[in-house]
Amino acid sequence: MTDPDLAMRWSTTARPDETAPTIQVHWLMANTVILRQGLEQTAEAPLLYLLFGEHSALLLDTGDHASRGDFPLRSTVDGLVERWLLEHPRAGYELVVAHTHAHGDHVAGDGQFIHRDATRIVGHGAAAVASFFGLHEWPRGTAEFDLGARVLQMIPTPGHHPSAVTVYDPATRILLTGDTVYPGRLYVDDFPAFESSLSALCDFAAAHPVTAVLGAHIEMTARPGRDFPRGSTRHPNEAPLTLSVADLRHVRDAAARVARRPGAHRFSNFIIWNGPCRREAALQRIRLQFSRLFGR
């Protein structure tokens, strides 16, 4: 097995007068692509994943609404599928469009796939997700989802969002954690569910080989404990996307410590937002204004 190429270089410093790619593409391995929507289009700059199996590909998330320009996700994905099929010719190749969770910045491109041939789009609610993947004990248990010689494990991880799932891919030994765990602000909607999900993920990682934990955003700078202000469309000196199993355990332990303390809690490579965090949100607005005025 070759190792995934985790040395990603994202374009993060474009100013509005520069032309930057609206979707960046990184081949993690021969059968695995990471896509990232440009910061020029949305400050969320979400990361999307495309996994190729023998009979189906999984597109995990469809991005955010573009504030400027078009978001050509469908043509980009079609091009990547075509390229893969050129090297692996076969008929009736299917695309499954699923989501780490159903917040707007992860499902906005769904409509581009509605009339695509051989395509299934997973619904957004917890019941739809549980039924599609056969997660009959939701929010507990796991289910296998076979792309053809690539059997993914689907793990319910509500807490940030009620229908959140984490995907484990044995081909890359990577956990795709969406907005549950990533180098940024972990907004917790349901804290007990968040804690249970983190503990399930840590148990899973203890029982399976995991080389990396990849989420759906990057909001931390490379400076420990420091994030880019919310809404920032420039990310100079951005933290790496890749987290480790040790980071995952750190998030679990940190969450247990702050469970009864509403507010924003900073750690070296993530921040836990427990509750609405109005004071922190106000500070973020001031920091954003400051960064826009002074360009940092």
Choose between 53 and 109: whose C-beta lies nearer to Zn ion: 109
Choose between 26 and 230: whose C-beta lies nearer to Zn ion: 230
Whole-number minimum distance, CB 213 to Zn ion, in Å? 16
Whole-number minimum distance, CB 106 to Zn ion, in Å? 6
Whole-number minimum distance, CB 218 to Zn ion, in Å? 11
Q: Is residue 61 involved in binding Zn ion (CB under 5 A)? A: no
Whole-number minimum distance, CB 78 to Zn ion, in Å? 24
Give the range of 152-160, 177-185, 187-195, 288-296 binding Zn ion by CB under 5 A: 177-185
Do 60 and 110 touch, CB atoms closer than 8 A? no
Choose between 110 and 147: whose C-beta lies nearer to Zn ion: 110
Choose between 179 and 238: whose C-beta lies nearer to Zn ion: 179
* CA 119 – CA 135 distance, rounded (Å): 21
Choose between 47 and 171: whose C-beta lies nearer to Zn ion: 47
Give the range of 121-129, 131-139, 176-184, 248-256 binding Zn ion by CB under 5 A: 176-184
Whole-number minimum distance, CB 187 to Zn ion, in Å? 8
Q: Tokens for 210?
A: 């995991």
Give the range of 17-25, 67-75, 110-118, 178-186 binding Zn ion by CB under 5 A: 178-186
Whole-number minimum distance, CB 294 to Zn ion, in Å? 27
Whole-number minimum distance, CB 138 to Zn ion, in Å? 21
Q: Which residues of 240-273 are buried (b: 16+ CB within 10 A; e: fewer)?
A: ebbbebebbbbbbebbeebeeeeebbbbebbbbb
Choose between 56 and 233: whose C-beta lies nearer to Zn ion: 233
Site string for Zn ion, 231-260 (x = CB under 5 A): ------------------------------
Question: Of 61, 169, 179, 238, which lies in the binding site for Zn ion, with binding defined by CB under 5 A?
Answer: 179
| Helices 191-207 + 245-258 axis angle, to 10 | 150
Binders of Zn ion in range 99-118 (CB under 5 A)? 105
Choose between 217 and 265: whose C-beta lies nearer to Zn ion: 217
Q: Tokens for 135?
A: 């997660």
| Contacts with Zn ion, residue ranges (CB under 5 A) | 105, 179
